[in-house]
Structure 1
Amino acid sequence: MKARYSIVIPVYKNEGSVAALLHALNALSATLDAPLEVIFVVDGSPDASFTLLEEGLSTATFQARLVLLSRNFGAFAAIRCGLSEATGDYIGVMAADLQEPPALMKEFFAKLSGGQFDVVFGQRLGREDPGMSKFFSAIFWSIYRRFVQSDVPPGGVDVFALTERFRDRLVAMTEANGSLLGLLFWMGGRRAFVGYTRLEREHGKSAWTLKKKVTYLLDSVFSFSDLPVRLLMTAGLFGMGVAFLLGALVLAARLIGAYEVPGYAGSMLAILFFGALNTFGIGIVGNYAWRAYENTKQRPLSIISLRLDFPGKHG
């Protein structure tokens, strides 16, 4: 039976939440008015997530597909893989840690079923995470909205759903080192937002580390904005202006005999400033060049090692 609703769930170091996740999905499936399929994409997880899912899905009440990637390709690559595997008319994406309530999927599907929207995003109205996590998340999304995409909600986006047609357009863009959420907002479409409160994590430790957040922010900036190049050009113009002014002052002082020997400090400061500026500029240009080079390779964004299907226990 073809599923009307699909849910894609990337899995990485989530063995502690597998049992609760399957229980929540069984409960969600019972409340939907049409068949549900769930695509689990195990992103090279080093724990027992795959084994636990394989065991648990044999008794699940919903249709499921369990996909194992050959290694860890990253959350966005896993989500993209799951989106490609999904067969439903409406497809949602959620995390395996249950910090986003699975019941959100039902609200998303209801909005999409009305035919008025292409994509629905979950908008955080609050979060029960630790204080430091809230603080750094607020800084991250503030920078993201200021310098990358201003139409992203203030609290950021972690969960969403979209129509099959909109999914096809999304997965057709196979650029490497990009941002899946960034692409969704770049695509535009008819959007809806559903508010929710992010729950406290009950199992394990989040793999979404500060390092990964910084990498994600850089990928987003370099994929969707030329701001770094424009800032570099502005800094270069400012540096040229300062150099021209100082040069004029030095020349004037020399002509009137104000000094005999040029100052060592001023020379070193000028050398250090422009040397640092050049190095910084090379780094920015190199980031753009590297991303362009990565896309010319046309390598697959993920590699599937194993695919298992589970029909679901109905009735």
Structure 2
Amino acid sequence: MYSLIVPVYMNEGSIGELVQALEGMQAELDQPLEVVFVVDGSPDASYTELKRRLPQAAFASQLISHSRNFGSFAAIRTGFIAARGSYFAVMAADLQEPPELAAQFFRQLARDEHDVLIGTRDSRQDPWSSRLASRLFWGAYRRLINRSIPSGGVDVFACNREFRDQLIALGESNSSLIGLLFWLGFRRGTVRYERQLRRHGKSAWTLRRKLKYMTDSVFSFSDLPIRILLLLGLFGTGMAVLIGLAVLLARLTLGPVVPGYAATMTTVLLFGGLNALGLGIIGAYVWRAFANTQNRPLAVVMKSEEFSGATR
């Protein structure tokens, strides 16, 4: 059996087309398809639309609802835990990733040549502003965190049961799904595709969410902030030594001098700022370590229903 996980958030307008597309994909597959929809606290009527359409759909499905919005990573993890297949794929509900891509994932995984497949974008039919923002975001991600990430980023992936089991065993909060995919290793392959234009709704992938995802990734998979702080500390120490030598030389050659107020204040503010920066960076790491010791669930399931699929 193939299991497809679909996180749902603000996708009311695309539900009808999504169900039709998945019915077409079921007809092409050589094994039964199970689709796990995880409504991640969506404030629109996405859950109602799915509950109305799924009993008549030509594929088996599960409809799970989170008690609030926990984020796409938590929704994907919930879907992985509930899914019963041998091979698993993730697909967005906005249809920007073509459904045939998931079918291609399943066929390649069934050949047992890879444990995890990453969808890499050749191009994207998005406005230029969205393309520019994506290019900047994933460029920074590759440079700061992991150079193995495809230049177009990662939006969809698929894996076998062994990889799935290891992924859901990593119960880290405030982490990065993409970072975990590449950290786990296994036999990894790529599948190229063209990202489609979004026809319904507006993306929830806002600048604020991008910044949070970037900081979570940096603090979970990189020691870059610590190294930057160390370099700033070394630079500040070096400047302090040079200024001290300059003051000593002036004292020996020119006699007593009155310290400059501007220079004093600049030095105090510089090192005060460095101290605040250091405390902030250390605090970010300590907070994430503390959050992982609380053992809170990464998501809370409020409702869960199953549909066997209509016979046609």
TM-score (norm 2): 0.98
Distance across 1 between alignment mates of 2:2 and 2:142: 31
Specify the alignment match of 1:287 in structure 2.
284
Specify the alignment match of 1:152 in structure 2.
149
Distance across 2 between alignment mates of 1:113 and 1:281: 49
Specify the alignment match of 1:208 in structure 2.
205
Specify the alignment match of 1:274 in structure 2.
271
Equivalent position amino acid for 1:257 in 2? L
Specify the alignment match of 1:166 in structure 2.
163
Q: Pick one of 35, 50, 55 that aligns with 1:53.
A: 50
Task: Determine whether 1:97 maps to 2:111.
Answer: no
Q: Report Cα offsets for 1:18-56 as digits up to 9, x if no partner.
A: 111111101111100010000000001111000000001
SS in 1 for 2:10: coil
Q: Report Cα offsets for 1:175-217 as digits up to 9, x if no partner.
A: 1110112101000110110111111111010001011001001
SS in 1 for 2:254: coil
Describe how 1:212-223 pairs up with structure 2 within 5 A.
Answer: 212-223=209-220
Task: Determine whether 1:12 maps to 2:9.
Answer: yes
Equivalent position amino acid for 1:250 in 2? V
Specify the alignment match of 1:196 in structure 2.
193
Equivalent position amino acid for 1:155 in 2? G
Q: CA deviation at 1:258?
A: 6.1
Q: CA deviation at 1:264?
A: 1.4
Q: Pick one of 126, 129, 134 that aligns with 2:131.
A: 134
Distance across 2 between alignment mates of 1:202 and 1:259: 75
Q: CA deviation at 1:255?
A: 2.0
C-alpha RMSD of matched pairs (Å): 0.9
Runs of 5+ consecutive residues of structure 2 not aligned to the other structure = none
TM-score (norm 1): 0.97
Q: Which moved more, 1:261-270 or 1:88-97?
A: 261-270
Distance across 2 between alignment mates of 1:167 and 1:217: 24
The share of aligned pairs that are identical, in percent, is 54
Equivalent position amino acid for 1:313 in 2? A
Specify the alignment match of 1:265 in structure 2.
262
Equivalent position amino acid for 2:103 in 1? K
List, as ranges, runs of 4+ consecutive aligned residues in structure 1 with deviation greater than 6 Å: none
Equivalent position amino acid for 2:279 in 1? I
Q: Which moved more, 1:132-141 or 1:30-39?
A: 132-141
Q: CA deviation at 1:314?
A: 2.5
